[in-house]
Amino acid sequence: MGPQASGKGTQAEKIAQQYGLLHFSVGDFLRAEVKKRTELGRKAEKIMDEGGLMEDEIIFGIVKQEVSQHPDGVIFDGFPRTEVQAQMLHEIVPINAVIDIKIHDEIAVKRISSRLVCSKCGEGYNTISQPPKKEGVCDNDGAPLIHRDDDVPEAVRHRLELYHKETEPILAYYRNEGVKVFDINGEQRIDKVFEDIKEAIDSLQV
């Protein structure tokens, strides 16, 4: 878990590789649906552009399917985002640990303004911490880099507000349920954040 631009996606990708897990980002899944112009995508587009949250039941249906298809383990990125989602998840799968990447709101806003994604493959970049090899184009496929539609200041502020109101309370829920919650300082270099996460995961007796 972590607020917008805390590095959830970047770290989840690394964790998935290191531990052989599926990296599942609900946000990426929804963006793919928007691109495909499916019914779900059309619904998601409006909500995402406003910086809102999709309905818990819809999100849970998507997650449930992923869990059933990947019995070896999944690292969720951006899920659960509400206590209802956390409760639903708890009923179908045991949670080993929660990784909470902490950054201040001002840092999140600053990072988001320098965040870019590939218009074709969706690969993420940051003009300060993770620049592409060639300015403005994707390293993978040479397609132009753009700002995400929901990375406009108005939507970002709304997403941060929702994070504090709806998502942060989940940490207390997990602590109550006896799930180990690791607090990670997300304001360090990407590789240092990953080192701290690895240390936390390796300390688990799974």
Instruction: Indicate which residues carry an active-site annotation.
Output: 8, 81, 115, 148, 159
With respect to ligand AMP, which residue has the nearer C-beta, 150 or 196? 150
Least distance from ligand AMP to the Cβ atom of residue 49, Å? 9
Do residues 101 and 77 touch, judged by C-beta distance below 8 A?
no
Q: Where are the beta strands (DSSP E) in 12-166?
A: 22-25, 74-77, 97-102, 115-118, 124-126, 145-146
Least distance from ligand AMP to the Cβ atom of residue 53, Å? 4
Tokens of 154: 């108005």
Choosing from 1, 34, 48, 74, the residue that interacts with ligand AMP (CB under 6 A) is 48
Q: Residue 66: beta bridge partners?
A: none
The CB density around residue 173, as the number of other CB atoms within 10 Å, is 16
Choosing from 2, 3, 7, 78, the residue that interacts with ligand AMP (CB under 6 A) is 78
Least distance from ligand AMP to the Cβ atom of residue 9, Å? 7
Half-sphere exposure of 182 (CA within 13 A, CB side): 19
Least distance from ligand AMP to the Cβ atom of residue 200, Å? 21
Stretch binding ligand AMP (CB under 6 A), from 53-61, 94-102, 127-135, 195-203: 53-61
Q: How far apart are CA 125 and CA 115, in angstroms?
A: 6
Q: Is the peptide bond before 80 cis (omega within 30 degrees of 0)?
A: yes
Choosing from 45, 150, 151, 196, the residue that interacts with ligand AMP (CB under 6 A) is 150
Q: Give the per-residue contact string, 85-114, with ligand AMP (x = CB under 6 A; - = no).
A: x-----------------------------
Residues whose CB falls within 8 Å of the CB of residue 187, separated by 6 or more in sequence, listed in order: 102, 103, 104, 107
Q: Which residues bind ligand AMP (CB under 6 A)?
A: 4, 26-27, 30, 47-48, 51-54, 59, 78-81, 85, 150, 159
